[in-house]
Amino acid sequence: MTSHGTTPIPSPELNTTQNRSGCPDFKKFLRNNRTSELKWLQFKLVSSDGGQCEDYKCENLLESDASVYCTQKKDNTNIVIQISEANYFVLTHILIKAPETGYTNPVGTGLIFVFDHPPDVDSTSCFDDMTANKYRQFMRNKINSNNGLSELDPALFFDLHDGWYTLQKLPIPRFGRYILIKLIRSRNLGDNIDVQYIGFKGFIGSHTFGYAELI
């Protein structure tokens, strides 16, 4: 079983976060990857447990166009993707879009995880049915415990009940090779989940670092 490092949660008084889980020192990362720049990252699908129809396949959510992925599950669909243009990435921003018209169950809530190795989806089942209130309480408990975040803890919770898209900056950039997208439920609590696009912005590179400072 792979051990999981922890990333300390930044306190409001600190401008930097020390991290011992392999996240990069951004200055060193950019120095060693001179062509690296903040950009939209390209991923390929590894697996999905949500089912699909031919015209509404899972790969559609990785395409920034009008195509849509329609799950065949009503909740807690897990999608694993892998960086396709490099060995590692640093994730800083996430864009989630729901289809505005023509679909009955646009995505409502979900979670994003970042892993160094292919994730065990079952290990994240404790986050199934997560809500905004539960997530806020989870983060408060994490901060109060002073135990930091592991890669089994979500990088981001998103909620589209008040809009059709959201672009969010991660409070702590995450470093890895794989992303697990957990589509929790639709806005209407319907029989499936419809999502148009999930995009990821950050840096690409091929170096890992044993100790790092996030800036």
Q: Which residues pair with 165 in a beta bridge?
A: 97
- What is the band of 13 on the pLDDT scale with cuts at 50, 70, 90? very low
What string of DSSP letters covers 59-106?
GGGGSSSS--EE-SSSEEEEEEEEESSSSEEEEEEEEEE--SSS-S-B
> Can you tell me the mean pLDDT for 107-135?
96
User: Is pLDDT of 24 > 80?
Assistant: no
Number of domains in the chain: 1
Q: Residue 137: inside a domain, yes or no? A: yes
* pLDDT of res. 36: 63
> Can you tell me the mean pLDDT for 48-63?
95
Q: What is the mean pLDDT of the chain?
A: 82
Q: Residue 58: inside a domain, yes or no? A: yes
Is residue 121 within 8 A of residue 50, CB to CB? The reply is no
121/99 Cα distance (integer angstroms): 26
pTM of the predicted structure, to 2 decimals: 0.80
C-alpha dist (Å) from residue 200 to 10, 51, 105, 173: 22, 23, 23, 12
Least confident of 26-35, 121-130, 178-187, 188-197: 26-35
Higher pLDDT among residues 22 and 47, named by residue: 47
Q: Residue 78: inside a domain, yes or no? A: yes
Range of the domain at 79: 39-204
Query: Looking at residue 47, which CATH number applies to its domain?
Result: 2.60.120.260
pLDDT, one tens digit per residue, over 62-87 is 999 999 999 999 999 999 999 997 78
